Amino acid sequence: MSAPAFAARPASSRQLAGTGTLLRFALRRDRVMIPVWVGVNALMVLSMPNTLEGLYGTPAERADLAGRMAANSSLRAMVGPVLGDSLGALTAWRVGVYAGALAAVVGLLVVVRHTRDEEESGRQELVASGMVGRRASLTAALLAAAVANGVLALLVTAGLAGQGAAGALAFGLGIAGVGMVFATTAAIVAQLTESARLARGLTAAALGSAFVLRAAGDSATDDGSSPLTWASPLGWLTNLRAFAGERWWVLGLFAGAVLVQGAVAYALAGRRDLGMSFLPSRPGPAAGRLGSAGALAWRLQRGGVLGWSTGFLLAGLVYGAMAEGAADLVGDNEGTREIFRRMGGQSGLTDAFLAAMAGVLGLVAALYVVASVLRLHGEETSGRAEPVLAGAVGRLRWAAGHLAVAFGGTVLLMLLAGAGLALGHGEQVGPLLAACLVQVPAVWVIGGVAVLLYGLAPGAATGAWGVAGAVLLIGWVGPALDVPRAVLDLSPFGHLPKLPGGDMEWSPVLVLTALAAALVAAGLAGLRRRDMTT
* Residue 347 phi, psi dihedral angles, 5° rounding: -95, -120
H helices of 284-428, in order, are 293-330, 334-343, 349-373, 375-381, 385-389, 395-425
Q: Is 284 in the site for another protein (CB under 8 A)?
A: yes
Give 75 or 296: the residue with its C-beta nearer to another protein. Answer: 296
Chosen residue from 10, 287, 332, 503 binding another protein by CB under 8 A: 287
The span of 35-43, 244-252, 291-299, 477-485 binding another protein (CB under 8 A) equals 291-299
Determine, following the binding rule CB under 8 A, whether residue 129 of this chain makes contact with another protein: no
Sorted by sequence, the CB contacts under 8 Å of residue 134 that are 6+ apart come out as 15, 269, 270
With contacts defined by CB under 8 A, name the span among 344-352, 390-398, 423-431, 465-473 that binds another protein: 390-398
Q: Using the rule CB under 8 A, is 386 a contact of another protein?
A: yes
Would you count residue 383 as binding another protein (CB under 8 A)?
yes
- CA-nearest of 369, 388, 372 to 380 is 388
393 in contact with another protein (CB under 8 A): yes
Q: Any contact of residue 1 with another protein (CB under 8 A)?
A: no
| Residue 263: closest CA among 274, 252, 271 | 271
Q: Per-residue string for binding with another protein, 86-125, x by CB under 8 A?
A: ----------------------------------x-----
Task: Indicate which single residue of 290, 490, 504, 514 sits in contact with another protein (rule: CB under 8 A).
Answer: 290
Query: Buried (b) or exposed (e) across 226-257, using 16+ Cβ within 10 A?
Result: bebbbebbbbbbbbbbbbbebeeebbebbeeb
The smaller minimum CB distance to another protein, of residues 162 and 394, is found at: 394
Closer residue to another protein, CB minimum distance, 342 or 397: 397
Residue 243 falls in which region: left (phi positive, over 0), alpha (psi -120 to 50) or beta? left
Q: Is 388 in the site for another protein (CB under 8 A)?
A: yes
Stretch that binds another protein, among 102-110, 123-131, 141-149, 523-531 (CB under 8 A): 523-531
- The answer to the question of residue 7 lying near another protein (CB under 8 A) is no
Cα gap 513→497, rounded to integer Å: 14
Q: Is 324 in the site for another protein (CB under 8 A)?
A: no
CB of 110 to another protein, least distance (A): 22
Decide if 134 contacts 214 (C-beta within 8 A).
Answer: no
Among 402, 494, 488, 480, CA closest to 441:
494
DSSP-derived 3-state class of residue 345: coil
Peptide bond into 81 cis (omega under 30): no
Per rule CB under 8 A, count of chain residues that contact another protein: 36
Give the CA radius of gyration of the chain. Answer: 24
| 456 forms part of the interface with another protein (CB under 8 A) | no
The span from the CA of 14 to the CA of 11, in Å, is: 5
Does 389 contact another protein by CB under 8 A?
A: yes
CA gap 75, 81 in Å, rounded: 8
Rank residues 401 and 492 by Cβ distance to another protein and give the closer one. Answer: 401
Between 119 and 351, CB nearer to another protein: 119
Q: How far is the CB of 387 from another protein (least distance, A)?
A: 6
Nearest to 177 by CA among 245, 77, 101, 64: 101
Q: Is 194 an interacting residue with respect to another protein (CB under 8 A)? A: yes
Q: Write down the H helix ranges in 231-292.
A: 233-239, 250-269
Least Å distance, CB 303 to another protein, is 8
Which chain residues interact with another protein by CB under 8 A?
Answer: 120, 194-195, 281-293, 296, 299-300, 303, 382-384, 386-394, 529-532
